[in-house]
């Protein structure tokens, strides 16, 4: 099983303007650094949560269809874009959406054959099945829950404050601690 990012988010959950307001920065001197901190914070949150924040397109690649359902190890699956497979004649085929059902309410999500059907046979080859799907809270920054956006601002602020390397033996306070990490708890996926 392989997961590939096909299309990343078109926006970040925190705008440059909101990050600069939080950081109390009113010049453009550090805009590039702040943009990196925003993206880095989003990736850290996605890793900690086990879910993507903003709408993204992913592809799950399998060697064959399973006996039962396909586990999509993602929470917040918005929909299935396509299910393609290499049939026994070696031809790539797109499965009709009527041939499968998505359980997006569960975490992880599950893709099952439609009632009364089974997955089709595939060629005996690697990467014979490709499930392309979208996941996230939505396409807009405002779709991301406020508690996650708050955590992101704290993480960005800490990264900005501690962006320089420290002298040997000097200590730097840690990135946001357990209290701040608790802001993510309500949205965390435990797989």
The tens digit of pLDDT for each residue in 82-133 reads 999 999 999 999 999 999 999 999 888 999 999 999 999 999 999 999 999 9
Burial class (CB in 10 A: 0-12, 13-18, 19+), 148: buried
**Cα–Cα distance between 151 and 147 in angstroms, integer?**
6
User: What architecture is domain 2-53+140-187?
Assistant: Orthogonal Bundle (1.10)
Mean of per-residue pLDDT scores for the chain = 89
And the tokens for 125? Answer: 């080859």
Residues in the chain, total? 191
Reported pTM: 0.83
């Amino acid at each position: 099983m392989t997961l590939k990012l096909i299309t990343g988010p078109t926006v970040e959950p925190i705008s440059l303007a909101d990050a600069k307001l939080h950081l109390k920065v009113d010049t453009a001197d550090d805009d590039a650094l702040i943009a990196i901190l925003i993206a880095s914070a989003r990736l850290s949150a996605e890793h900690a949560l086990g879910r993507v924040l903003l709408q993204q397109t992913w592809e799950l690649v399998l060697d064959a269809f399973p006996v039962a359902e396909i586990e999509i190890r993602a929470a917040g699956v918005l929909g299935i874009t396509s299910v393609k497979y290499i049939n026994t004649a070696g031809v790539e085929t797109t499965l009709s959406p009527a041939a499968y059902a998505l359980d997006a309410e569960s975490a992880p999500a599950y893709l099952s054959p439609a009632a009364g059907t089974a997955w089709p046979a595939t060629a005996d080859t690697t990467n014979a099945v490709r499930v392309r799907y979208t996941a996230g809270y939505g396409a807009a920054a405002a779709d991301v829950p406020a508690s996650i956006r708050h955590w992101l601002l704290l993480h960005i602020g800490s990264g900005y404050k501690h962006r320089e390397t420290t002298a040997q033996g000097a200590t730097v306070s840690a990135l946001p601690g357990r209290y701040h990490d608790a802001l993510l708890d309500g949205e965390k996926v435990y797989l």
